[in-house]
Amino acid sequence: MIRSVVSRVPGLGGWSDDPLWATFYDWTVEHPRVGGAVWRAGIQSDLRLLYRAASEIGRQPDGSRILDIPCGGGVALRGLKPGQDVEYVAADIAQAMLDRTMRAAEERGLLDQVNPQLADVGDLPFEDDSFDLVVTFTGLHCFPDPALAVIEMARVLKPGGVLTGSALLNDSLRYAGLRKVGRVAGLLGPGCTQHDLEGWFAGQGIADVVIERSGAIGYFRGVKRAAAVEPE
């Protein structure tokens, strides 16, 4: 009942409805001055950390495979350089979001480098050890089972590959209201704390983990440990 009322609020509604909220969010990311001020005022977070994390995409050597899940409106594409010789798979559970990403790819002159793919992060349609870099920006708090999402993203990452991204963390009570509205609207899942994340990464062999908190958001980066070689 509450959910059906909230989902009729303009801007909310599930991801597959391409909510107005997604347009607003993308706009803030694409407008560093005004958007940066909105992030600082709203969630006390420094938007430049998102740009810095996404720039790792542009440093991938030729032939690399990159997975962007969930790609949403394609904000991570800002890290991909035109002509960069990599395979960039942009994956999301909502076709509306893939369409949005491909429009962003066209505007950025990246259309021939981006491969859109419908995918549920809880059951990724990719081989084990098949990506050099997995990026997951502002995604974990949206997934129904973030622990399973970490298992799947770690599974498809090659040993030595990097998992990086960001999430709205449950650590601070200050943002509890925001999380509640998001959950009722069907936009957010249960989320996680920094402690949860550290445990999930350790459990999946993601090492050298760095988590940097900026207001409501935590930025994380870790490297998948190479498989131990069994002595003969």
**Cβ at position 101, least distance to ligand SAM in Å:** 9
Pull the structure tokens for residue 34. Answer: 């005004």
Q: Name the nearest CA neighbour of 84 among 50, 100, 108, 120.
A: 108
Cα distance between residue 214 and residue 96, in whole Å: 29
Binding characters for ligand SAM, 10-39, by CB under 6 A (x = yes): -----x------------------------
The gap between the terminal CA atoms of the chain, to the nearest Å, is 62
Q: Is 121 in the site for ligand SAM (CB under 6 A)?
A: yes
Look up residue 136 and give its amino acid: T
Q: Is 152 in the site for ligand SAM (CB under 6 A)?
A: no
Rule CB under 6 A: choose which of 80, 92, 164, 214 binds ligand SAM: 92
Site for ligand SAM in 64-83 (CB under 6 A): 70-73, 75
Q: Is 94 in the site for ligand SAM (CB under 6 A)?
A: yes
Look up residue 95 and give its amino acid: Q
- Do 36 and 47 contact (CB within 8 A), yes or no? yes
CA 221 to chain CA centroid, Å, is 12
User: Count of residues binding ligand SAM (CB under 6 A)?
Assistant: 18
Binding site for ligand SAM (CB under 6 A): 15, 70-73, 75, 92-94, 97, 120-122, 137-139, 142-143
